Amino acid sequence: MTTTTGRATPARLLLLGAILAVASALAACVTDAAPSASQDMEAVAQGIDKSLMCPICPSETIDQSQTEIAEQMRRTVREKLAEGSSRDEVLQFFVERYGEDVLAAPPKSGFNLLAWLVPPLALLLGGGALALALRAMRQEHRRSANANGPQAGAAGLEPYLNAVDSDIRSLTADDGGRGKG
């Protein structure tokens, strides 16, 4: 979009080059996005650790908690994964054992969908209200601009304008002065 009107300034060339670089780099990461499973099992396990609450300590995940039961659960997570269970299956196993509140975040299904849907809806609603408010304020501006033109009551202002100019000069003098009034 910008290149249709602009000259090829160095900044633009740089931008173009950088965009190409990013594109190629992203393409590169998509192609090797599937790392070997064995290497990543611990990473999956740690991800699960962070999504499970320790059932006896208030609001700590088993990843954070240093209690016996948390340690036990961490071990179980790794055993289950080694047996070939998927992440969801492991989580389900703990939900059946300890109840829904062992999950660190509510599941995205059923009634609990509410937890996930309300925030974006609220933001959209807020954004809509903001857009309406901005529109109303712009209309107000047009109305007032039409009602009294920019130079309303400007007759005979000359001496006051001069006073304002000298005020501004003295104000900006100690900031190092301004270019030209």
Partner 1 sequence: MADLGYICLLIALALAVYSPAASMIGVRLDSRQLVASGRRAILVSPVVLAGSTAGLVGAFVTADFSVSYVAEHSSRAMAPQYIWVAIYAGNEGSLLFISFALSVLAALAVYFAPAALRPSMPHVGAVLMAVQIFFLAVMVFLANPFAPLDPVPPDGRGINPLLTHPGMFAHPPMLMTGLISFSVPFAIVMGALLSGRTGDDWVDAGRTWGIISWALLGIGLLLGGWWAYTILGWGGYWAWDPVENAGFMPWLVMTAFIHSIMVQKRRGMFRMWNLALVIIAFGFAQFGMFINRGGPVPSVHSFGASTLGWVFLAFMGATMLASFAVFAWRYNGLRSAQTLESALSREAAFLVNNLLFLGVAFVTLWGVVYPLISELFQGEIVTVGQPFYNQVNGPIFLLLILLMGVAPFIPWRRAGWSSMRRALIAPAAAAAATVALLVLLLSVTVPWALISYGLCAFVVAGILREWARGAHARHGRGESYPVAFGRLIAANRPRYGGYVVHLAVVLLALGVTGSSFYGIQRDVALAPGETADVGEYSIKYVTASATAFPDRTEMTAEVQAFRGDAYLGTYYPRRDFYPGFNIASTQAAIRSTPLEDLYIIPGELLEDGRAIFRVYVNPLVMWMWVAGPMLLAGVAVALWPQREPAAQSVALRGAGVAAGSGGTPEATAG
Partner 2 sequence: MPYLLGLLLALAAAALIAWPLLRARRAAAPTGPGALDALRETQRLRRQVYDEIRTLDLDRELGHVPNEQYEETLEAHRVRAAILLRREERMRSELAQLIADVEDDVLALRLASGSVSSTVECAECGGRRDADAALCPRCETGNLDAQATEEAAE
- Give the residue, chosen from 41, 82, 132, 163, that forms a contact with partner 1 under the rule CB under 8 A: 163
| Nearest-approach distance from CB 149 to partner 1, in angstroms | 15
Q: Is 41 in the site for partner 1 (CB under 8 A)?
A: no
- Residue closer to partner 2 by CB (options 140, 167) is 167
Question: Scanning residues 79 to 108, which ones bind partner 1 (CB under 8 A)?
Answer: 99-106
Measured CA to CA, the distance from residue 94 to residue 109 in angstroms comes to: 17
Interaction residues for partner 2, span 131-170 (CB under 8 A): 150-151, 153-154, 157, 160-161, 163-165, 167-168
Residue 84 Cβ, how far from partner 1 at the closest point, in Å?
A: 22
Q: Which residues pair with 53 in a beta bridge?
A: 61
Q: How far is CA 141 from CA 72, 136, 147, in A?
A: 66, 9, 10
Phi and psi dihedrals of 179, rounded to 5? -50, -80
Binding residues among 27-86 for partner 2 as defined by CB under 8 A: none
Residues that bind partner 2 (CB under 8 A): 150-151, 153-154, 157, 160-161, 163-165, 167-168, 171-172, 175, 178-179
